[in-house]
Amino acid sequence: QVQLVESGGGSVQAGGSLRLSCAASGYDFSSGCMAWFRQAPGKEREGVAALNAYGTAIYTDSVKGRFTISKDNAKNILYLQMNSLKPEDTAMYYCASNTVDYVLSTDSGRYNYWGQGTQVTVSS
d(C-alpha 78, C-alpha 9), whole Å: 14
3-state class of 113 per DSSP?
strand
Helix (H) or strand (E) holding 59: strand 57-59
d(C-alpha 29, C-alpha 31), whole Å: 6
3-state class of 24 per DSSP?
strand
Categorize the per-residue pLDDT at 102 as very low, low, confident or very high, splitting at 50, 70 and 90: confident
What is the per-residue pLDDT for 101? 86
Residues 82-99 pLDDT 10s: 999 999 999 999 999 998
